[in-house]
Amino acid sequence: MFLLGLIDQLLFGGSLTVYGVLFLPVCALTALWVRGSDLLTAPVLVPIAFAVGLLPLADDGGGVAGRLMGLVTALATQAGWLYGGTLIAGVTVIVRRIRLVKRRRRGSPAGPAPAGPTGQA
């Protein structure tokens, strides 16, 4: 997202709308590419990535305090894109998780494990 923020700054003059539109497919791809064991991290990571990507786009009012204020303002005004992307990642992860659980249930035996030669399960 930081790289997309830089590209947006160079090509589109720091358009927050372009950045938000680019953020949505990144959220979907992140939720699709994350490993099955790390599924729950995707909805947590995408808002962090959104904020990091805003760094080159935030208005620089002079110094660190001005940059921080620009970042907070950008986060506040672009919250719709942030919520939308997080929702996309969350729904995608939930669907993937449900499929993973169903696949695991089909692969394991339905009943208790059969008793071994010593009579223990």
pLDDT > 60? residue 38 = yes
Q: Phi and psi at residue 50, in whole multiples of 5°?
A: -60, -45
pLDDT > 80? residue 111 = no
Contact at 8 Å (CB) between 73 and 59?
A: yes
Query: Tens of pLDDT along 53-97?
Result: 999 998 877 788 888 999 999 999 999 999 999 999 999 999 999
Contact at 8 Å (CB) between 50 and 83?
A: no
Give the Cα separation of 103 and 114 in Å (integer).
Answer: 21
